[in-house]
A and B are shown apart, each in its own frame.
Chain A
Amino acid sequence: MTIRVFVPAVPEFAALVQAASRKPSCKVSAPLPEYQVIESSEPLEFWRKELGLKPAVWYGLFTGGLTGRIEIFDRERVRIVPAD
């Protein structure tokens, strides 16, 4: 199943969309007025420092909605794999 991350189109999560845009495995689109959507059929990994996020925002990174399973989510790194 494809990983799908819904990212609210607000400034505090813009870095997530930008980081995904740089990954060849990711497709980024804006199919809804309020969200950008990151899609990937391969595992996805992000680093907090790469996104420039403080912990309080980092730990809410997927508040927009996530199809996929979070395999690792510590203070510095998150890894998502396709849901079983």
Chain B
Amino acid sequence: MRLAGVDHTARPTWKLKETVEFYRDILGLPLVHTISARGWGPASHPDFLHFFFDSGKGSTIAFFYYLGSDAPEGLKDRRYARPAPDDHVFDATHTAWLVDTAEELRAWKERLAAAEVEVSVETTHEVIESIYFRDPNGYFIEITRKLRPLNRIDEVDAAATLQAAIELEEEASNAHVRITTIDMVWNRKARLLEARL
């Protein structure tokens, strides 16, 4: 069995108009579907709007707007944070959209900058190059391009890294200590690979 890609990802918004203007007008993603409904299911569920913007290849990014509800404290000033993962817990949950070329990535950066959205510098990772920015809620968004396709080497290496980390975490848990440096994972991984030599 295989999944066929992303249908949608969803998050709550407390900035209805700004969210529509940002995704539809600044990013240019067509608003393709809106549900408006009485809260249903759990009694605590408010009446809501649920709306979807087309983000390419059949995928959408979706928002819930809960009528009469307040934004959590932690979200209130987040839109003004710089586009860097200073809050690594909150910012870890993010969406990365794909573009095909370096020129397109640069064009997106220019488009966002022209709309006075603060955009990060282009960041070259191992297999992707990305720009980052925030939406009106402060959600961290990434646009990226692939530098190369992933292959068998990446798969083998990924499994070895996580095997090393899981082994270490289990041993540490049994000893009531914590693994806090990646050096320990690298050392353990080398031991695992040395056994294959």
Binding site for B on A (CB under 8 A): 4, 6, 8-12, 31-35, 37, 54, 56-57, 60, 62-67, 69-70, 83
* A65 adjacent to B193 (CB under 8 Å): yes
Give the number of residue pairs across the A-B interface with Cβ within 8 Å: 69
The residue on B at minimum CB distance from A70 is B183
Query: Which of B60-68, B121-129, B134-142 contacts its partner?
Result: B121-129
Chain B, range 105-146, C-beta contacts under 8 Å to A: 123-127
B156 within 8 A of A: yes
Binding site for A on B (CB under 8 A): 123-127, 147-148, 151-154, 156-157, 160-161, 164, 183, 186-187, 189-194, 196-197
Q: Which residues from A are CB-within-8-Å of B164?
A: 65
> Which secondary structure dominates where chain B touches chain A?
helix
CB < 8 Å: which of B124, B187, B197 contacts A56? B124
Q: Which residues from A are CB-within-8-Å of B153?
A: 8-10, 33-34
A-B contact pairs, 13 of them (CB 8 A): A10-B151, A10-B153, A34-B152, A34-B153, A34-B157, A56-B124, A56-B126, A57-B124, A62-B186, A63-B186, A64-B157, A65-B186, A69-B183
The residue on B at minimum CB distance from A11 is B148
Most chain A CB within a 10 A radius of its CB, from B125, B154, B183, B193: B193
